[in-house]
């Protein structure tokens, strides 16, 4: 067990120290687990969650088709034309980004909405930095709302065997979706307060964006409908959701090939699939399979149980706020991947702890510019546009936003799922 723990810990350190090479570090570590027989060959395939990998790959490609169609740009423009001033535009864009992010990848959401915000700010001669930060943190928040909203949500669904609808109603109770939306409502007031001085009116303009194709929008809605429908099927194959996402992507690619008759129309969406994230997850699955086989997960579960002293509320509190703190500085994907099997092994109301983990880890990334991929993407867009993002600029929005959303979700989850 000790060698497995050392290798796992060393891998984490290397992932943090060499962020650009984290995929190769994770894959290399996974291979070492196999080579040194800390993960037996018989358990290699069972350690890999192919459903998660296929869902992520398929949905990323579909999102790129959706972006290319210009539909997100049109929707953003329509929202801007419905608001009275810059303050309300900032809040509306953040909420709009949040709504999209509940169903598509956070990074893709920022890429959709941020350019619109920057153009609007240029026309109004106002600083776009707080606008983009608001969009990024709202995208991170809503990633936990549905099964397809974020990689961590997909991972939770795989570990707990949760369907798309389980994120709305689970175990006879309103599920994590409503915890997230409560946080979104509270944090919207926080954003409104932060932008309280931005009262300049927005001149109404005709929409200049033309949607080039409505098929990607149909495919995206079809994905959601099929995922919902599949949730009612009992004893379905474990990779059902992944196959749905990938099949719809294939349909979209074939459609593009027939309509546009160019290689780029097919290759472009495939390039949008983040193979770095998929490789990272593959390596993590192998690593976690190895430490599970070596008994590390069981020992970690026992240690956490001792810290909580069998007290469900104390355990829940530790998991939520430790997740916020840890995810503020490191990527939440490896952290959640590690914690899920530990929580499963505790045997204490796993639903409450699962949701506490997901809400804390997803929202914790909003505290710092490096805490989430969406934040990094947003600051990169601003830097490319010639704007500097200082840490204090991010803290000013990210920290109060995070506290408002986490406290709301924390109270909600304990009231609904805690044992009283």
Phi, psi of 173 (to 5 degrees): -135, 155
Tracing tokens 């601003």 back to the chain, one arrives at 382
pLDDT score for 420: 59
**For the chain, which residues score pLDDT lower than 50?**
none
- Residue 243's contacts (CB-CB under 8 Å, 6 or more residues apart) are 54, 237
Tracing tokens 């104390």 back to the chain, one arrives at 314
Q: Decide: residue 100, CB within 10 A, 0-12 exposed, 13-18 middle, 19+ buried.
A: buried
Q: Please give the Cα distance from 409 to 159 (Å, whole number).
A: 21
Q: What residues does each domain of the chain span?
A: 2-417
Closest CA to 130 of 177, 190, 182, 213: 190
Tens of pLDDT, residues 258-298? 999 899 999 989 988 878 878 888 988 898 889 888 888 77
- Residue 119's contacts (CB-CB under 8 Å, 6 or more residues apart) are none
- Residue 25's contacts (CB-CB under 8 Å, 6 or more residues apart) are 11, 14, 15, 18, 283
- Cα atoms in the Cβ-side hemisphere of radius 13 Å centred on 73: 18
Q: Decide: residue 72, CB within 10 A, 0-12 exposed, 13-18 middle, 19+ buried.
A: buried
pLDDT score for 321: 92
Q: Please give the Cα distance from 358 to 346 (Å, whole number).
A: 16
Strands (E), 126-283: 169-170, 173-174
pLDDT score for 36: 92
């Amino acid at each position: 067990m000790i060698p497995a723990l050392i290798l796992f810990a060393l891998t984490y350190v290397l992932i943090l120290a060499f962020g650009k090479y984290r995929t190769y570090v994770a894959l290399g570590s996974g291979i070492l687990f196999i080579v040194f027989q800390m993960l037996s060959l018989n358990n290699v395939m069972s350690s890999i969650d192919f459903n998660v990998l296929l869902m992520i790959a398929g949905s990323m490609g579909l999102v790129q088709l959706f972006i290319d169609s210009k539909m997100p740009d049109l929707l953003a423009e329509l929202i801007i034309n419905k608001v009275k001033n810059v303050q309300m535009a900032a809040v509306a864009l953040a909420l709009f980004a949040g709504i999209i992010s509940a169903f598509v990848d956070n990074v893709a959401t920022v890429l959709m909405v941020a350019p619109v915000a920057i153009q609007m700010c240029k026309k109004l001669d106002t600083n776009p930095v707080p606008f983009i930060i608001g969009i990024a943190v709202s995208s991170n928040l809503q990633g936990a709302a549905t099964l397809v909203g974020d990689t961590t949500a997909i991972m939770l669904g795989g570990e707990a065997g949760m369907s798309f609808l389980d994120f709305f109603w689970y175990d006879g109770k309103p599920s994590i979706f409503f915890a997230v939306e409560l946080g979104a409502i509270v944090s919207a007031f926080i954003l409104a307060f932060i932008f309280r001085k931005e009262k300049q009116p927005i001149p109404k303009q005709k929409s200049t964006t033309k949607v080039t194709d409505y098929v990607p929008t149909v495919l995206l809605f079809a994905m959601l409908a099929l995922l919902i429908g599949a949730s009612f099927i009992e004893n379905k194959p474990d990779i059902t959701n992944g196959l749905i996402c990938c099949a719809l992507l294939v349909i979209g690619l074939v459609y593009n090939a027939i309509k546009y008759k160019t290689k780029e129309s097919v290759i472009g969406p495939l390039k949008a699939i983040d193979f770095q994230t998929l490789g990272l997850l593959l390596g993590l699955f192998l690593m976690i399979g190895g430490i599970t086989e070596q008994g590390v997960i069981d020992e970690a579960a026992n240690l956490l149980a001792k810290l909580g002293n069998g007290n469900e509320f104390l355990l829940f509190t530790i998991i939520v706020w430790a997740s916020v703190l840890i995810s503020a500085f490191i990527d939440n994907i490896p952290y959640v991947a590690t914690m899920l099997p530990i929580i499963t092994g505790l045997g204490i109301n796993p639903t409450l702890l699962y949701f506490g983990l997901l809400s804390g880890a997803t929202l914790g990334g909003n505290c710092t510019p490096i805490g989430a991929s969406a934040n990094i993407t947003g600051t990169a867009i601003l830097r490319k546009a010639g704007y500097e993002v200082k840490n204090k600029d991010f803290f000013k929005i990210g920290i109060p936003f995070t506290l408002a959303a986490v406290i709301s979700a924390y109270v909600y989850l304990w009231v609904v799922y805690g044992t009283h």
